[in-house]
């Protein structure tokens, strides 16, 4: 058979399948010889009110017709959608993806579905995505964003419970789940000093009101009079100045997250032509590519999956009526030592 004929036949079958009319509850009722109310009871929470024979007829009709109930319509009728919203600042960030996976896993375990909206660090997008989440009739909201539109968030908080992840929005007074930033930075500094590094600098994304970045920078500066470099287009020049400046001993860099680590690694390779052995490097987050650079980049791993699960668990407690005072759940970072922080004399 010619190839074009096969193609045309495939198209015809696909088109027919796509335009097949949706099976309705009325179709099931007529097939089973019962009322629509009986079908509604069968697929709802009142199945026990039906006799065994009627329930069996309805079940056979559903199987024969391939009927799929409209879960959204049923949820709205009962005042419940089983939808949880998640507002993300940057869905491309590996941290965000890992936390979102934890949230989604916990949602699925408890019979909820997750609706994710990405603000892309854009205040206008944040406003639009909040309006979209509201229109979906979500039952709760998990927020990982800067909170540029506090009024909208606060208004939504009067309608549904809300939990923050990683970033504080002080005006909301919501539960917060994230990393113990002070512990993580202290662990990083202690490791670098123990390995013999004495001249340290931190590389961070712009703080721009992000509470977690601010806490990490403040904690780093409490440990010593060390500079903080910004992971921007000028990072290469900042690093050149730091590496050229006289100091008290071997130099090392602490990167405040995975994005800063990538920018720092690229800048170091541009400056040195390769990944340098004589400069220490420790990065917060533990990304898949860290072991592939040089002898591997020493990391502070965040328990991202556990953070996502705990965020949903906090939300679930609120959905079940908890009126307890808002709490902060801080997780500890885990040090993973690789070749980028070898022992210095």
pTM beyond 0.85: the answer is: no
**pLDDT over 50 (residue 117):** yes
More confident residue, 136 or 68: 136
248: tokens are 């008290």
Which CATH number characterizes residue 238's domain? 3.40.50.2300
**76 found inside a domain:** no
**pLDDT over 60 (residue 208):** yes
What pLDDT is stored for residue 148 in this prediction? 82
C-alpha to C-alpha distance for 242 and 251, rounded to whole angstroms:
9
**209 found inside a domain:** yes
Q: Taking residues 200-210, report their average pLDDT.
A: 91
Convert the pLDDT of each residue in 271-299 to its tens digit.
998 888 899 999 999 999 999 999 999 99
131 plus 104 within the same structural domain: yes
**124 found inside a domain:** yes
**74 found inside a domain:** no
Angle subtended at Cα 218 by Cα 217 and Cα 219, rounded to the nearest 5 degrees: 90
**274 found inside a domain:** yes
Q: Taking residues 132-161, report their average pLDDT.
A: 89
C-alpha to C-alpha distance for 66 and 43, rounded to whole angstroms:
14
Residue 48 domain boundaries: 3-69
Number of domains comprising the chain: 3
210 plus 297 within the same structural domain: yes
What pLDDT is stored for residue 7 in this prediction? 41
Among the candidates 48, 69, 90, a domain finishes at: 69
pLDDT band at 73 (very low <50, low <70, confident <90, very high): low
pLDDT band at 14 (very low <50, low <70, confident <90, very high): very low
174 plus 87 within the same structural domain: yes
**pLDDT over 90 (residue 68):** no
12 plus 101 within the same structural domain: no
Phi first, then psi: give them for residue 92, nearest 5 degrees.
-80, -15
- Provide CB contacts within 8 A for 184, sequence distance 6+: 216, 284, 300, 332, 333
212 plus 261 within the same structural domain: yes
223 plus 86 within the same structural domain: no
What pLDDT is stored for residue 3 in this prediction? 41
Among the candidates 47, 69, 91, a domain finishes at: 69
Which CATH number characterizes residue 28's domain? 1.10.260.40
């Amino acid at each position: 058979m010619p190839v074009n004929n096969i193609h045309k036949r495939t198209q015809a079958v696909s088109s027919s399948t796509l335009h097949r009319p949706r099976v309705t509850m009325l179709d099931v009722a007529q097939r089973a010889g019962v009322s629509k109310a009986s079908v509604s009871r069968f697929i709802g929470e009142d199945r026990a009110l039906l006799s065994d024979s009627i329930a069996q007829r309805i079940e056979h009709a559903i199987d024969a017709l391939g009927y799929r109930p409209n879960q959204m319509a049923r949820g709205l009728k009962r005042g419940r959608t089983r939808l949880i919203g998640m507002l993300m600042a940057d869905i491309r960030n590996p941290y965000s993806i890992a936390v979102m996976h934890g949230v989604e896993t916990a949602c699925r375990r408890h019979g909820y579905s997750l609706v994710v909206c990405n603000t892309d660090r854009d205040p206008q997008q944040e406003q639009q995505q909040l309006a979209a989440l509201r229109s979906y009739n979500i039952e709760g909201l998990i927020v990982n964003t800067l909170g540029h539109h506090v009024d909208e968030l606060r208004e939504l908080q009067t309608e549904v419970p809300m939990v923050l992840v990683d970033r504080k929005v002080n005006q909301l007074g919501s539960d917060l789940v994230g990393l113990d930033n002070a512990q993580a930075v202290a662990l990083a500094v202690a490791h670098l000093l123990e390995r013999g590094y004495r001249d340290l600098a931190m590389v961070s994304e712009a703080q721009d009101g992000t509470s977690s970045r601010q806490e990490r920078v403040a904690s780093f500066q409490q440990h010593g009079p060390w500079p903080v470099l910004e992971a921007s287009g000028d990072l290469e020049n900042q690093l050149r100045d730091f590496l050229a400046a006289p100091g008290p001993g071997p130099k090392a860099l602490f990167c405040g997250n995975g994005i800063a680590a990538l920018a720092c690694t690229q800048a170091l390779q541009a400056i040195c032509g390769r990944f340098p052995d004589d400069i220490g490097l420790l990065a917060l987050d533990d990304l898949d590519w860290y072991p592939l650079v040089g002898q591997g980049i020493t990391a502070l791993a965040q328990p991202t999956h556990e953070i996502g699960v705990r965020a949903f668990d906090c939300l679930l407690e609120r959905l079940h009526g908890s009126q307890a005072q808002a709490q902060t759940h801080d997780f500890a970072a885990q040090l993973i030592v690789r070749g980028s922080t070898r022992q210095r004399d």
